[in-house]
Amino acid sequence: MADISKEKMEQIAQMWNARGKGLITHMALEIEEVSSEGVRVRMPFNTDFCADADQTLLHGGILTALLDSVFGLANFVAIEGVSTMATLDLRVDYLRAARSRADVIVSAHCFRKTRHIAFNSGCVWFDGHDDAEVARGTASFALTRGDVSLFDAMTKGKTS
Amino acid sequence: MIDLQTVNANVSRVPFFRFLNFEVQSLDSFHAVTEMTFDTRHIGNPIMEHYHGGIIASFMEATAAIAVRPEFTETPAKPINLTVDYLRPGVKDPLFASANVTRKGRRIASVSVTSWQTDQAKPVAEGLYHFLLL
């Protein structure tokens, strides 16, 4: 995997921590691996995201939200000079029922970037069960290029 | 046909539906309309305080599932896949969704969903959801 600079790694950590509120904070995501080739993120089990009263089955929607979030991170890592990013469309296949209380692992990468658009794909499985994918997703994002980095925009709110 | 009060009581029993915090406003065969109340935990962009795209997709999925099977507590329809087009940012106000079951066969249902905020003619997102009915 291609290495990324220590500076960028610190920016990513800062960006993640600076959020302070919202869904990504609530999901308590932990970055496990990050490079321009792709990212891997862990989401701890959370009963808020369950579809059943027994709280052993994750609702598909949270996996969709997880993929969308991690695609954003993968783009931030893979593309330089992006000031804003908006999801254009998202497709998710639910491959099997998400019945487990294990942590969720998601791996995502940007497989094509142009001046205006980024294309992503990713997959989701439960920790220790990488032979049994739970969901797979693809998405495209509209990018706005600019001097203000996504990190600055996120933390200082300089652009929309 | 199941009544609204019962459906909303069932909605409040699903942990993830409580997290989304929505209510079913109307329901008839093959059609459901819901309203979700904004909460900071729904935020995707913390600067602009827009809804997270995944929350919008989840809310639309929940609405689609209820339209397919209003008595979802017994045997909920199994989601197969979804496609969502994001058309406008969702600002920090209530979000509405309207789900229409375009085809319900013996095994598969296809549902189209639109979500909007102040004007239904200006959708925030549109989606297509497939369910397995077993």
Picking from A22, A86, A89, the nearest residue to B52 by CB comes out as A22
Q: What CA dihedral angle connects B60, B114, B41 and B21, to 10 degrees?
A: -60
The answer to whether the Cβ–Cβ distance between A60 and B61 falls below 8 Å is yes
Query: Which chain A residue has the Cα nearest residue B62?
Result: A61
Model confidence over B44-87: pLDDT tens digits? 988 889 999 999 999 999 999 999 999 887 788 999 999 999 99
In B3-124 the beta strands, taken as DSSP E runs, fall at: 22-28, 31-36, 43-45, 50-51, 78-86, 95-104, 108-116
| Window B:95-134, CB contacts with A under 8 Å | none
pTM of this prediction exceeds 0.90 = yes
pLDDT tens for each residue of A134-152: 999 999 999 998 766 655 6
Please write the tens of the pLDDT for every residue from A29-42.
999 999 888 999 99
CB A64 within 8 A of CB A137: yes
Chain B residues touching residue A160 (CB < 8 angstroms):
48
Whole-number mean pLDDT of chain A? 88
Are B113 and B96 in contact, with CB atoms under 8 Å apart? no
Q: Which amino acid is at B121?
A: A
Nearest to B11 by CA among A45, A64, A5, A59: A59
* Stretch (H or E) spanning A11: helix A6-18
CB nearest to B86's CB, from A19, A86, A160: A86
What pLDDT score was predicted for residue A1? 47
Given an 8 Å threshold on Cβ–Cβ distance, is A91 in contact with B83?
yes
Residue of B nearest to A89 (CA): B85
Q: Quick check: A2 pLDDT over 60? A: no
For residue A26, the SS3 value is helix
SS3 per-residue string spanning A49-92: HECCCCCCEECHHHHHHHHHHHHHHHHHHHCCCEEEEEEEEEEE
Of A88, A90, A157, the CB nearest to B57: A90
Q: Which residue of B has its CA nearest to A56?
A: B15
> Are residues A40 and A107 in contact, defined by beta-carbon separation less than 8 angstroms?
yes
- State the complex-level ipTM: 0.95
Calculate what percentage of chain B has a pLDDT beyond 90: 90
pLDDT at A155: 56
For residue A7, the model assigns a pLDDT of: 75
